[in-house]
Amino acid sequence: MITIIPNWHPIFVHFTLVLLTLSGIVQLSLWVNFTKNVQLTLIQTQKWLTILASVCVVLTVATGGYAFNTVNHDEPSHLAMLDHRFWALITSATFLLGAVFYFLLPKLRSKLSSVFFVTAMILVSVTGYKGAELVYRHGLGVMSLPKTTGEGHQHQHDAATEEQDDGDDADEHNDHDHSNAAHSHSEQNDINEHHETATEEFSIQSLDAAKSVKAFQDALKSGNATLARELLDDQVLIYEGDSAENSADEYANHHMKADMEFLSHMSITQLSQHIHQSEKMALYTGISKIEGKYHDKEISMTSTETMVLKQINHQWKITHIHWSN
């Protein structure tokens, strides 16, 4: 299948938005006393809209479920995803129920199905708004965003902000394979960071939350299970592929050892790393290229990593991790 970034859901969802809206508009038009020829045209149009929209709704829900389980996200965006999924399922069920009445109960077509189609038109606008918030407010599915300064965009670059320290080496990553699903941990000695109240870039030593991220990554790389466990909040939530671990102890007793074993076999090219820190919360994101050989298997993949940190008793602890390839 052709690879679509971030996945196929944005393609089908736009057809669904248009078709459900048109279906509701046509249904409202059928309630108006037009001439007989116009009415027949609207009835035929509604029939084809119902068929096409039903197919698109099913495809949209299917690809949306896949996106829900694979798109990299943090805790705030996870709550927004749950909200969007709720409205999407309600909208889909409403329209599909109307389609069932439309085709299986022709005598009730003008009454029941029309109500469901108009209701679905209203609901899909709410669902679309919730989906737009996931992209434009939370940045889900977005691989990169342009950096802006001043009141608009600029094409003149400041050489001082573009210089990179080529002397720092990227550390290796770790990964483990369970049923052909793997996750990785991003590391690099030189990491770009952004404080949410400023646009200036800092080194990793600037923010305390970044030090905890680096310490956790180093602990996994060096096999220091005690330190890695200490840096995790007891109730840390860790997403990897289609599975989740709901506590630090669960991770320490299961995948941590495999991560440490995998780390020594991989080489990494760091594509980007950022950290946004407020007074009590911080968000770290990283994208990297992972390559190496593990258990006679050649591995080459692009990996994303997200960590949410919280300051607890004057120490930054990791409360959420999401690894995705």
**Tens-place pLDDT, residues 142-189:** 655 554 444 444 434 343 333 444 444 434 344 444 434 344 444 333
More confident of the two residues 56 and 139: 56
Cα dist from 107 to 95, 96, 101, 113, 273, whole Å: 18, 18, 9, 10, 61
CB 318 within 8 A of CB 284: no
CB 232 within 8 A of CB 225: no
Question: How far apart are the C-alpha atoms of 62 and 306, rounded to whole Å?
Answer: 25
CA 181, distance to chain mean position in Å, is 17
Measuring CA to CA, which residue among 231, 288, 295 is closest to residue 258? Answer: 295
pTM listed for this prediction: 0.45
Looking at residue 249, what is its pLDDT?
Answer: 92
CB 204 within 8 A of CB 189: yes
- What's the farthest any 2 CA atoms get from each other in the chain? 79
CB-based contacts of 260-264 (< 8 A; 24+ apart in sequence): 260/174, 260/220, 260/221, 260/223, 260/225, 261/174, 261/176, 262/174, 262/175, 262/176, 262/294, 263/172, 263/173, 263/174, 263/175, 263/185, 263/220, 263/221, 264/172, 264/221
Mean local confidence (pLDDT), 57-71? 87
pLDDT tier, 54 (very low <50, low <70, confident <90, very high otherwise)? very high
Supply 298's token pair.
Answer: 């050649």
Which segment of 35-39, 105-109, 248-252 scores lowest on mean pLDDT?
Answer: 105-109
Supply 148's token pair.
Answer: 């802006």
pLDDT tier, 86 (very low <50, low <70, confident <90, very high otherwise)? very high
Question: How far apart are the C-alpha atoms of 61 and 67, rounded to whole Å?
Answer: 10
| Beta-sheet pairing, 266-277 with 193-195 | parallel
CB 213 within 8 A of CB 275: yes
pLDDT tier, 214 (very low <50, low <70, confident <90, very high otherwise)? confident
**Tens-place pLDDT, residues 270-307:** 788 888 888 889 998 988 888 888 888 888 888 888 99
- DSSP assignment of 182-224: EEE----SS--EEETT---EE-GGG-HHHHHHHHHHHHHHHT-
Question: How far apart are the C-alpha atoms of 260 and 203, rounded to whole Å?
Answer: 26
Question: How far apart are the C-alpha atoms of 48 and 50, rounded to whole Å?
Answer: 5
